[in-house]
Structure 1
Amino acid sequence: MPRSSSANKEKRALARQKILAAALRVFAEKGYNGATITEITSRAGVSRGLASYYFPSKHLLVEELLDAYLDGVASIVDIPGGPDERLAAIIDGVLATMMSDLPVQGVILSLVVQPSTHPIFAKVEARKDKRLRLLEDSLRDLFAQRGAADPAVEEIMLRSVLEGVVFKAAVYGRQYPVEQIRGRLYDMYGLPAPRTTLSGAGPAPMGRLRAADRGF
């Protein structure tokens, strides 16, 4: 019995996700330049022909990954509530995502800054300019409501701080004091101290960061 169009569509979507997930793993291990389509298709468990049909080059794989990343960044505008509630939710959302998908976050950041892939990021960013402007305007409005003297600077500062936190956590993994940093961010923005931890457990003791264990 032939598959329905919806079943075929679901199968194609699953194949694409397998390829993208495998690409993230291989990029994490070998970097963009060291990764090959052959290894990515092997990890994904799909044929080279199928992978090439969806993604004829590594360039297009990176473009798709960065496209999804920017969609996630831009979704911040959808958070409801007053300015303080929204700011707290943005901080918690970024930190919670970081803790659940740290290897992915680290790979994406490396793709953003690598000389070989930064031009791809610039291309994707330009394509999503309209949605990113909505994000920027939403954050600037949030800081304007909080009485900031320069909401544009505050928007850039918040995103810079959060991206810096993600970068450091990607380097140091479970050693990184997420809960203490979360509390410091709340304090920096004059927000009420969080009543619970993101993990449900108490903060780990503060140590000295050394690049030994990268996992959460």
Structure 2
Amino acid sequence: MSPRSASANEEMRRRSRERLLQATVELVGERGYEATTLADIADRAGTARGLVSYYFPGKRQLLQSAVHRVMHLELEAGLERAPCARDGRERLARAIDAILGLARDRPLLMRTHMAGILQAEGFIQCPEQQRLARLLHETVAAYGSPDPDADYPLLRALLMGAVVAVLLPGAPMPFERLRAELFQRYGLDWELGVPPCPGPPRAGA
């Protein structure tokens, strides 16, 4: 049997890494962070336990990469779904709906992710986060920002703040109200993106 080519080995590593990321999302979503072990993740992914440590320095970093992958894929799907959106305002609306929607639809996963970012390890700039950043940066540019390098971090901060507000234990903000605030901030019509209801909430609602 001839040895595998460098490209074949690289593809195998990529697939192994993605299986670990997907297994992490599934298990944390089912059991929570503390009840999920690295051995559990390796078993679910069908890989050797040692591969987890090869790709990631620890469980918290693995989770961040896994959630950033989910966010990237969700954002990419939202931006590219039919009919394809070429208008910058529509693309920004879809981006807001994709990220904010994860807080509504996958609260345990996103709450665990945000809690990890606020701990000692902080914000990890992994390949998955870089793909997410690139998509958001391109979205800000398509929206018409004169300075995407400055406006992208602001959009990221606003989205992170909105996600935290949706997930805040004991005092969550309504998803619709936060969406309305973000849309107003960027001058977006409520009907753009994927509106959760026919019209924006009334003031004070």
TM-score tier by shorter-chain length is: 0.5 to 0.7
Question: What residue is the counterpart of 1:113 in the other structure?
Answer: 118
Question: What residue is the counterpart of 2:131 in the other structure?
Answer: 131
**CA 67–140 in structure 1, closer or farther in 2 if over 3 Å, else same:** same
Using structure 1 for the length normalisation, give the TM-score: 0.60
Q: State yes or no: 1:190 paired with 2:196.
A: no
C-alpha separation in 1, matches of 2:202 and 2:169 = 14
Using structure 2 for the length normalisation, give the TM-score: 0.63
Indicate the structure (1 or 2) with the bigger Cα radius of gyration: 1
Q: CA deviation at 1:109?
A: 1.1
The structure with the greater share of residues assigned to helix is 1
Question: What residue is the counterpart of 1:90 in the other structure?
Answer: 95
Q: CA deviation at 1:132?
A: 5.0
Q: State yes or no: 1:63 paired with 2:52.
A: no
How big is the alpha-carbon RMSD for the aligned residues of Structure 1 and Structure 2?
Answer: 4.3
Q: Does the residue aligned with 1:131 lie in a helix, a strand or coil?
A: helix
Q: 108, 111, 118: which one pairs with 1:103?
A: 108
Q: Does the residue aligned with 2:196 lie in a helix, a strand or coil?
A: coil
C-alpha separation in 2, matches of 1:19 and 1:158 = 27
C-alpha separation in 2, matches of 1:26 and 1:66 = 14
C-alpha separation in 1, matches of 2:165 and 2:198 = 22
Task: Judge which range, 160-169 or 50-59, deviates more.
Answer: 50-59
C-alpha separation in 2, matches of 1:23 and 1:111 = 13
Task: Judge which range, 157-166 or 130-139, deviates more.
Answer: 130-139
Query: Structure 1, residues 84-135: CA drift from partner, whole Å, max 9, x if none?
Result: 11011111112222211012111011112210x33xx53xx24457635633
C-alpha separation in 1, matches of 2:92 and 2:102 = 15
Does the CA contact (< 8 Å) of 1:96 and 1:198 recur in 2? no
Does the CA contact (< 8 Å) of 1:140 and 1:155 recur in 2? yes
Which ranges in structure 1 are unaligned for 5 or more consecutive residues? 1-11, 208-216
Q: CA deviation at 1:192?
A: 1.7
**Equivalences, count:** 178
Which ranges in structure 2 are unaligned for 5 or more consecutive residues? 1-15, 80-84
